[in-house]
Structure 1
């Protein structure tokens, strides 16, 4: 057991790092716990991904983010956040997954796969990229199916189905097509998503219009088989020859983890967690939320650019509480 900490930050992404920087400036005895490498979620993004936000909107603690283009790419973001962690000597433990958090009186007991820590306060900054929205259809567990897209080279000369019509699905479809894949998009709604990056959306619409990429609108996948898909289309059931499937249907926070902590979630489909908008403190005293996890299923609500302020809000509140006599 390590000496009791003022603060444990669960998640070493951009917002977790921002919380660590703020805690360090205020002299708090803190620790960041990250289940993977630095900014694990960004590391698992597609290798060629370009952010929607410009570099200055991805900056934390007013540390300049210099990129080759106005909108940086994944490799530049990895370098930026890694340099912040190393140059500021942040107290972070990597590849240390948190398995449970329990509060005993006024102290949190945080267990990882390796050891146990205690802290007066905990920040959950875990994002939502860990759990894909499953299709819940036969064949989804086949090896040919993935809910994450990494590199287009893998799909060259293959019949690839991309399920979804958001940024991730459109980027994957275009990149894989340009590497020689035969791409078909399966889109549940009547059109490509309106939130798709404005410089990318015309590209995918043109590729669909010219027939380079085939698209089924108002269509869902009923079953996945080793060499084909069964589609439910407006014209009835259809078969589609297929080698690989990218089911890019979005992701969600680990609600089971939040509920196990005792955090109240709304009963509707949004699953919004309860927290004070001024301090980010949940219904459990000393337990805070930061970053995109605050939006529940509304995963388009919070981004790095508008949630980086959470760090200062939380740390200022912790410092203020500490200065008040018991």
Structure 2
């Protein structure tokens, strides 16, 4: 097999790779923290695992974090491999946070975005940090578009904020007519912030369109002394649900993967990122089938088509 065919084979196989989306509470991430080589290096490796990664708890009044991390990604992954989209500082009073999307433009095309207007007539000003909603075009006929809704909920209001994500879903449908939505981030969804007896009252948990990919028995915390499923991923939409790679949703233990001590990991964050993979090359409602060109390249296409 010649070099040109090997390159074609690599491209075809690369197209079959699952599409990974993640969210990470980076714990009070400002310019000073991002300037630390150990933190910046770890964040770059975490972001580079995903086609879209949403950072939360970015406290960056001077706008230093995004350029620092893009420089890191340019030098380690490749120039222009990632682009970023940041919200304005969100919150009440003097404490504000940003949501920041890092995404691979070769795999996800940013189409539109908005900050949810937290002015529901029955539930005004629910969110401490309003969701920063983004719509991406994907290179897939099975799932041509996907909307992401990140949330960093205030611990004391976690139940109310998680429930109000149902209102955000309705707003997404009104604005874009889009059913396929991923809700993800630090919901503070456990360890006393949402009592087990209260889950049945939360519309995002109770109503049929929403499928929770991470259970209440999970753990997304770095400290060995805690076990809390704070960070979650919830999917809505038949197409996106059908494309979730089984077993792919979970917390990424960067302590173990990067060979860090707990103390070293806590410098980065006290949370682990949560991730999920979507099989974009799978036909909606069926399993993935290799492209015909790939079958021909491997010498199988002729037999399947009855060719000499």
Fold agreement, TM-score > 0.5: no
Q: TM-score w.r.t. structure 1 length?
A: 0.26
Larger Rg: 1
Structure with more helix by fraction: 2
Q: TM-score w.r.t. structure 2 length?
A: 0.27
